[in-house]
A = this chain, B = another copy of it.
């Protein structure tokens, strides 16, 4: 049974109860949101020992960290280290996007080490398999693709990106569009390439019911991929992107009918003034399904600072309705991220998510900031560091420039201006000068 079916049957898992209390929301409201598809709790029936997280309306904005090998860096050990750092810095989920090395082994190792939900993009493995077997990705067979998806589900993957919205119609829109960057979604390009080469409709669209059957069997949450997402500001919010979104909206309804948990993926690269419109449109077209965005990056010109560009877009996106932010690391457009990049990426996205949660009034969000403000007012450095979003890095930065006698304000002399202000206002003392 999927979670939707279980809850409908009155069998609410303990993990969902815990989740409601952790989020500070009423359990019955949370259950209703899951049933109605406005919240997903990605958790494969074959997974144990994993923390449940809720993604969607009214809940804390969640952060995903992409990890995974490439052909040039096929090192499991480094990816497990990234997983560790992602968990330590507060990511809510990870996706294994490996394309190099033994993909099955890597996935299984990540799944066995991860205490949080794990997502994958099965078509990567299907493509690599096809390349090995037939010498070409576009020779991938439909049965093999579905076989790989089932294999991922069987292994315990909690959510999977499937590019179901790339239809012939979307392709036509793409042709008309004359984009600067064409298709930048890797999985999307595989699907488009396959469709062109084989002159066929996208099997993930055409055989969507077959996908739903697999998803039902394992309670695999489907993450409907945005293969047509813009790869630069100039391509943002165009006909191809929105055509795909409209299709995804229809597929969301079919998934809900099948009682399969489903979320929708979104851009990408968007100018600041497109973000709110994109979020509201996605939420409206997809009937409130949880929306999962990559970035969005608000400029194309900041390689090695793309975590910042993405934090700007992510904060605005989450405030306007996105529920799940896929981090972007500084190195996004330059190479495979290092462990250090993963840390920077997770924290940047968490800042964006938290800033949005404060603005959205997510229960408890602003209490953290109030506690920090009080620690600052009290000049309680240790507490300030403990409360920091990355205590380890904050401590290092503080120690580096720390001065002796931190408690005494050496500047103001007998009549400290800050102290006077504090006395005047009846508070103990002001900020450190």
- Whether B335 and A397, one on each chain, are in contact in the complex, defined by CB atoms closer than 8 angstroms, is yes
With a cutoff of 8 Å between Cβ atoms, the chain B residues found around residue A131 in the complex are 411-413
Q: Whole-angstrom distance between the alpha carbons of A311 and B335 in the complex? A: 24
- Whether B301 and A369, one on each chain, are in contact in the complex, defined by CB atoms closer than 8 angstroms, is yes
With a cutoff of 8 Å between Cβ atoms, the chain B residues found around residue A72 in the complex are 403
Asked if A291 is at the interface (CB within 8 A of a chain B CB), the reply is no
Least CB distance from A383 to B in Å reads 12
Q: Whole-angstrom distance between the alpha carbons of A286 and B232 in the complex? A: 37
Measured CB to CB, the residues of A under 8 A from B are: 71-73, 99, 127-128, 131, 135-139, 174-175, 178-184, 186, 189-190, 192-194, 196-197, 231-235, 271-273, 298-305, 307-309, 311-312, 315-316, 319, 330-331, 333-336, 338, 347-348, 351-352, 354-356, 358-359, 366, 368-370, 372-374, 376-377, 384-385, 387-390, 393-394, 396-398, 400-403, 410-422, 424-425, 427, 430-431, 433
Most chain-B Cβ atoms within 10 A of its Cβ — which of A131, A184, A387?
A: A184
- Whether B232 and A394, one on each chain, are in contact in the complex, defined by CB atoms closer than 8 angstroms, is no
If A136-B413, A347-B305 touch, whether A398 touches B197 (CB-CB below 8 Å) is no
Least CB distance from A356 to B in Å reads 6
Least CB distance from A112 to B in Å reads 27
Q: Whole-angstrom distance between the alpha carbons of A273 and B361 in the complex? A: 10
With a cutoff of 8 Å between Cβ atoms, the chain B residues found around residue A137 in the complex are 411-413, 415-417
Q: Whole-angstrom distance between the alpha carbons of A370 and B180 in the complex? A: 8
Q: Whole-angstrom distance between the alpha carbons of A31 and B284 in the complex? A: 46
Q: Whole-angstrom distance between the alpha carbons of A312 and B336 in the complex? A: 25
Q: Whole-angstrom distance between the alpha carbons of A73 and B402 in the complex? A: 11
Chain A: interface secondary structure? helix
- Whether B415 and A138, one on each chain, are in contact in the complex, defined by CB atoms closer than 8 angstroms, is yes
25 example contacts (A-B, Cβ-Cβ < 8 A) are as follows A174-B425, A181-B377, A182-B421, A182-B425, A184-B430, A189-B421, A193-B417, A232-B372, A234-B366, A271-B355, A271-B359, A271-B366, A272-B315, A272-B316, A273-B359, A298-B315, A300-B376, A301-B387, A303-B388, A304-B398, A333-B376, A334-B398, A334-B401, A335-B403, A338-B400
Least CB distance from A63 to B in Å reads 14
- Whether B182 and A356, one on each chain, are in contact in the complex, defined by CB atoms closer than 8 angstroms, is no
- Whether B305 and A433, one on each chain, are in contact in the complex, defined by CB atoms closer than 8 angstroms, is no
A335 nearest in chain B by CB position: B401
If A138-B417, A271-B358, A417-B137 touch, whether A308 touches B71 (CB-CB below 8 Å) is no
Least CB distance from A405 to B in Å reads 10
Least CB distance from A194 to B in Å reads 7
Least CB distance from A354 to B in Å reads 5
With a cutoff of 8 Å between Cβ atoms, the chain B residues found around residue A366 in the complex are 233-234, 271
Other contacts beyond A189-B433, A273-B359, A304-B388: 11, CB < 8 A: A72-B403, A137-B417, A182-B422, A193-B421, A231-B373, A232-B369, A298-B315, A303-B398, A305-B389, A334-B398, A336-B401
A430 nearest in chain B by CB position: B182
- Whether A136 and B415, one on each chain, are in contact in the complex, defined by CB atoms closer than 8 angstroms, is yes
With a cutoff of 8 Å between Cβ atoms, the chain B residues found around residue A415 in the complex are 136-139, 193, 197
If A175-B425, A412-B136 touch, whether A354 touches B301 (CB-CB below 8 Å) is yes
If A394-B304, A397-B335 touch, whether A233 touches B299 (CB-CB below 8 Å) is no
Least CB distance from A423 to B in Å reads 8
A403 nearest in chain B by CB position: B72
- Whether B431 and A312, one on each chain, are in contact in the complex, defined by CB atoms closer than 8 angstroms, is no
With a cutoff of 8 Å between Cβ atoms, the chain B residues found around residue A418 in the complex are 183, 189, 193
Least CB distance from A131 to B in Å reads 5
If A137-B415, A369-B299, A430-B183 touch, whether A309 touches B197 (CB-CB below 8 Å) is no
- Whether A304 and B181, one on each chain, are in contact in the complex, defined by CB atoms closer than 8 angstroms, is no
With a cutoff of 8 Å between Cβ atoms, the chain B residues found around residue A410 in the complex are 71
- Whether B183 and A421, one on each chain, are in contact in the complex, defined by CB atoms closer than 8 angstroms, is yes
